[in-house]
């Protein structure tokens, strides 16, 4: 009799479905036999990494037969100097997703709970349930975090609260004053993970820098990534900044060499080119305006975003529109799995890619 290995997995894993990333360009070209595909599905930077990164990676490629520096000493030192923190407060991950999983594995036990917002990043319930803990999704307020409701959802079983700021896939954000009121009322034994993957894109003056809150809140963990504005999605490198005690725990569960050599070198080089970051931010800001204007011209509502993407309301089931856009050679992201079946999310691309998306959407809508 065949063995049911799913039934042998833990109860939380049995309830999970595999995470579905954005459709790759190559897959769509194989399926439909088309070329010149535009991918605006995965919130990648369309501008690529800094030229300094490319040079650094080329120079380091010949040493890839050696294991990486397991401590990430040079990258931690560069981050510490740039961020104004101690290197020992920094934990490196294979993308910031890795940090989220480390936090869950280190602190969650069966019967524990995590709290996060409806429409928030899909990895929060995934890492929670993989530990056989309970994922508590709090209804959103205007597609964003309802921090008062999240406070009310905290129980004696709550171990972790996840806040995505800005939030993916909605692009909404929590203000400094709202965050401060929230942090002041969370019990000090409950971890608050502030996910700032899109931090570098935000230009709102009332947007908070999570790092400045660390001295007052030892239970706070701030996560960031090099996958977005720095253009290193393919190398997978992210990090967290926290108290020394929390960083010590994360290092106990972190796998050896979880960041590869080229990723460490690329991230260090990316930090050394602030002009490229500013260039990417400026073009993203103008791209947000370009896409928003195009959606308005088509009579479609959208959620104002401070990230590098916009979620827009199709006014009906979004999957047929998503599939029609695929046939036009434009890949966006359906977000029905986030409880938004009428919305699609589009990543901000190059100006000509944004125009291609608007033209394709106009054609699809007729």
Q: What local confidence, expressed as pLDDT, does residue 17 receive? A: 75
Q: What local confidence, expressed as pLDDT, does residue 310 receive? A: 98
Q: What local confidence, expressed as pLDDT, does residue 2 receive? A: 81
Q: What local confidence, expressed as pLDDT, does residue 5 receive? A: 66
Q: What local confidence, expressed as pLDDT, does residue 309 receive? A: 98
Greatest C-alpha distance within the chain: 63
CATH number of this structure's domain 5-48+275-365: 3.90.1150.10
pLDDT digits (tens, 9 = 90+) for 180-220: 999 999 999 999 999 999 999 999 999 999 999 999 999 99
Q: What local confidence, expressed as pLDDT, does residue 349 receive? A: 97
Domain positions in the chain: 5-48+275-365, 51-272
Note whether 190 and 160 are within 8 A (CB).
yes
What tokens appear for 361 in the block? 């959407």
pLDDT digits (tens, 9 = 90+) for 109-138: 999 999 999 999 999 999 999 999 999 999
Q: What local confidence, expressed as pLDDT, does residue 265 receive? A: 97
Q: For the chain, which ranges sit under pLDDT 50? A: none
DSSP string, 98-136: HHHHHHHHHH--TT-EEEEETT--THHHHHHHHTTPEEE
Considering only CA atoms, which of 187, 201, 172, 337 is closest in space to residue 278?
201
- Three-state SS at 239: strand
Q: What local confidence, expressed as pLDDT, does residue 224 receive? A: 98
What tokens appear for 345 in the block? 């999310």
Note whether 275 and 67 are within 8 A (CB).
no
pTM of the model: 0.94
Name the CATH topology of 51-272.
3.40.640
């Amino acid at each position: 009799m065949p063995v049911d290995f799913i039934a042998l997995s833990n109860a939380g894993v049995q309830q999970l479905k595999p995470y579905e990333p954005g459709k790759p360009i190559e897959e769509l070209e194989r399926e439909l036999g088309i070329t010149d595909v535009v991918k605006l599905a995965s919130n990648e930077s369309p501008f690529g990494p800094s030229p300094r990164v490319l040079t650094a990676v080329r120079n380091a490629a010949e040493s890839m037969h050696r294991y990486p520096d397991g401590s990430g000493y040079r990258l931690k030192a560069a981050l510490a100097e740039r961020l104004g923190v101690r290197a020992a407060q920094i934990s490196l991950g294979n993308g910031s997703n890795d940090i989220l999983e480390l936090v869950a594995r280190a602190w969650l036990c069966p019967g524990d709970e995590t709290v996060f917002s409806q429409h928030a990043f899909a990895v929060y319930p995934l890492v929670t349930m993989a530990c056989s803990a309970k994922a508590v999704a709090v209804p959103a307020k205007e597609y964003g975090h309802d921090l008062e409701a999240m406070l009310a959802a905290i129980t004696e079983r709550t171990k972790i609260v996840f806040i995505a700021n800005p939030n993916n896939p909605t692009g909404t954000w929590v203000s400094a004053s709202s965050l401060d009121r929230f942090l002041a009322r969370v019990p000090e034994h409950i971890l608050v993970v502030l996910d700032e993957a899109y931090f570098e894109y935000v230009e709102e003056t009332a947007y908070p820098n999570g790092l400045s809150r660390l001295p007052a809140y030892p239970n706070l963990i701030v996560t960031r990534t090099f996958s977005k504005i720095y253009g290193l999605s393919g190398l997978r490198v992210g990090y967290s900044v926290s108290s020394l005690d929390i960083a010590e725990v994360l290092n106990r569960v972190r796998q050896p060499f979880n960041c590869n050599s080229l990723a460490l070198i690329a991230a260090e080089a990316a930090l050394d080119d602030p002009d490229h970051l500013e260039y990417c931010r400026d073009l993203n800001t103008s791209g947000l305006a370009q896409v928003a204007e195009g959606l308005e011209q088509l009579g479609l509502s959208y959620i104002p975003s401070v990230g590098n993407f916009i979620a827009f309301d199709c006014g009906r089931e979004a999957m047929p529109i998503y599939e029609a856009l695929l046939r036009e050679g434009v890949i966006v992201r359906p977000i029905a799995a986030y409880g938004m079946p009428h919305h699609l999310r589009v990543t901000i691309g190059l100006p000509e890619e944004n125009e291609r998306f608007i033209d394709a959407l106009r054609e699809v809508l007729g």
